[in-house]
């Protein structure tokens, strides 16, 4: 188990190293932020000063070594646009993205699993057919369009819910959270729903497929014959056995939700990291790009770890082998 963990951590470190090298090479191919942002009133001298002050006149390998040296001391560099440490810039916005992603995850489980169970247990009734048809829309409609439709319906036409920003927030541990206030929750509802639609559909369909498969297995038949109550059969024996694919999708999808929250964040003017990374790429703000990707890689590694660990809890047959 310990060796398995160490091996995982080593892998993560190598991924981080490769990723930073790729970012450096990629950004360098395109150019540097000075040429994109400098005032058209600047002459060659000012441009040259700016370029050398930021170190872009050094060869790429030297820039990369300087970065590595500073990174080992915990300094990823100052953003060229925000003029503050890139990690701070990310951390200011990360809570907003995290709470949105968690809210979407909760919605997907709370809505997806019950509906999937209904559709799996009673495949013939009309409600199940409606659920299955709507779920196709859930993962085929572009979230950008759905987001705008939600805004049109709930904000513009009905006027029930706000569509921009985080609303009122409460500061906990130096970070701003909106799920702790009523106003914040109202602001969060539409973006969280929009972000979760795809996941709801996925969870729903997985649950349904798992349920209809499990219902025909020997142990369910046995449980029925034994006279167990239907609630216990579904709630324990069915649910527990269909959870592994659901946990995998929800867990691994969580990293994806954070990484691809950009569309939802843009449409709802949600001050998270998604919009930040697009803006940073546009102006080649390398420290922020690097810091952001490092964070995403770390999140993915941690989630994979948690997913693997949760398998052992859900299914005693799963062992985390030393060769894994």
Partner 1 sequence: MNAYLKRVLAAGVVLGALGGAPALAKDLVMGRSTPQTVLDPHFTVQPTGNAMATDLYDGLVFFGEDLQLYPALATSWEPIDELTWEIKLRPNVRFHNGAKFTAKDIEYSLKRAGSMPNSPSPVTPQVAAVDEVEVVDDLTVRIKTKVPTPLLMNQIGEVFITSSEFGDVDTADFNSGKAAVGTGPYRLVSWIPGEAAELEANPEWWGGQPEFENVTVKFIADSSARVAALLSKQVDVIDAVPSEDVDFLRGQSGVEIHSSPSVRLLFLYLDLVNDNSPFVTDHEGRPLDINPLKDVRVRKALSKLIDREAITDHVFARLATPAGQVAVEGQGGYSKSLVPDQYDPDAAKVLLAEAGYPDGFGLTLHCATDRDVNTADAIQAMAQMIARGGIRINAVDCRPYSVYSAEATKGEYSAFMWGRSDKRPDTSLNLRNGYMTYDIDAGVGAWNRGRYSNREFDNLVQLALQEFDTEKRYDLLRQATEILIGEDMAILPVYFLNATWATRDGFTFDANKKVETSAQHVHAK
Determine if 217 is a binding residue for partner 1 (CB under 8 A): no
Min CB(279)–partner 1 separation in Å: 7
324 forms part of the interface with partner 1 (CB under 8 A): no
In angstroms, the CA 226 to CA 238 distance is: 15
User: Please, which of residues 249-278 interact with partner 1 by CB under 8 A?
Assistant: 266-269, 271-272, 275-276
Residues from 124 through 163 that contact partner 1 (CB under 8 A): 148, 151-152, 155-156, 159, 162-163
Judged by CB under 8 A, does residue 66 bind partner 1?
A: no
| Closer to partner 1 by Cβ: residue 148 or 220 | 148
Residue from 222, 282, 302, 306 binding partner 1 (CB under 8 A): 282
- Residue 213, C-beta contacts closer than 8 angstroms, at least 6 positions apart: 242
How far is the C-alpha of 71 from the C-alpha of 131, rounded, in Å? 50
What gap in Å lies between CA 21 and CA 288, rounded to an integer?
Answer: 14
| Cα–Cα distance, 148 to 246 (Å, whole number) | 29
Name the residue among 268, 263, 253 with its Cα closest to residue 299.
Answer: 253
Give the interface segment with partner 1, choosing from 77-85, 197-205, 220-228, 252-260 (CB under 8 A).
77-85
Check if the beta carbon of residue 11 is closer than 8 Å to that of residue 261: no
| Residue 186 C-beta: closest distance to partner 1, Å | 12
Burial tier of 16 (Cβ tally within 10 Å: 0-12, 13-18, 19+): middle
Which member of 164, 175, 239, 314 binds partner 1 (CB under 8 A)?
Answer: 164
Which of 1, 5, 6, 36 touches partner 1 (CB under 8 A)?
A: 36
Our CB check for partner 1 shows the closer of 164 and 215 to be 164
E-strand ranges in the chain read 170-172, 175-177
d(CA 47, CA 179): 46
Question: If binding is defined by CB under 8 A, does position 94 make contact with partner 1?
Answer: no
Q: Residue 23 interacts with partner 1 (CB under 8 A)?
A: no
Tell whether the torsion through CA atoms of 142, 147, 150 and 152 is positive or negative.
negative
Looking at 40, 227, 316, 321, which residue binds partner 1 (CB under 8 A)? Answer: 40
Residues that bind partner 1 (CB under 8 A): 30-47, 49-50, 53-54, 78, 80-84, 89, 92-93, 148, 151-152, 155-156, 159, 162-166, 176, 266-269, 271-272, 275-276, 279, 281-284
């Amino acid at each position: 188990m310990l060796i398995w963990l160490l091996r995982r951590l080593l892998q993560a470190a190598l991924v981080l190293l490769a990723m930073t090298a790729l970012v450096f090479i990629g950004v360098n191919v395109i150019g540097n932020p000075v040429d994109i942002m400098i005032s058209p009133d600047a002459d060659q001298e000012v441009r040259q000063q700016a370029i050398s002050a930021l170190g872009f006149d050094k060869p790429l390998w030297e820039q990369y070594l300087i970065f590595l040296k500073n990174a080992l001391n915990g300094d990823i560099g100052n953003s060229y646009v925000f003029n503050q440490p890139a990690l701070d810039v990310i951390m200011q916005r990360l809570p907003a993205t995290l709470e949105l992603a968690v809210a979407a995850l909760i919605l997907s489980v709370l809505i997806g699993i019950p509906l999937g169970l209904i559709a799996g247990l009673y495949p013939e009734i009309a409600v199940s057919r409606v659920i299955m048809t709507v779920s196709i829309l859930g993962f085929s409609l572009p979230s950008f369009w759905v987001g705008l439709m939600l805004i049109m319906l709930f904000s513009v036409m009905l006027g029930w819910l706000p569509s921009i920003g985080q609303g009122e927030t409460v500061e906990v541990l130096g970070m701003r959270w909106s799920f702790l206030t009523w106003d914040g929750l109202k602001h969060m509802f539409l973006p969280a729903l929009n972000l979760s639609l795809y996941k709801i559909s996925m969870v729903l369909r997985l649950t349904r497929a798992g349920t209809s498969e499990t219902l025909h297995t020997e142990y369910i038949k046995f449980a029925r014959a034994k006279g167990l109550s239907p609630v216990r059969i579904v709630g324990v024996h069915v649910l527990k056995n269909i959870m592994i694919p659901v946990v995998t999708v929800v867990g691994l999808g969580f990293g994806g939700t954070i990484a691809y929250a950009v569309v939802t964040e843009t449409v709802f003017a949600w001050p998270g990291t998604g919009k930040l990374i697009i803006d940073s790429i546009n102006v080649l703000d390398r420290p922020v790009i690097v810091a952001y990707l490092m964070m995403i890689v770390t999140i993915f590694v941690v989630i994979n770890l948690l997913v693997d660990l949760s398998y052992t809890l859900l299914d005693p047959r799963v062992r985390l082998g030393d060769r894994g």
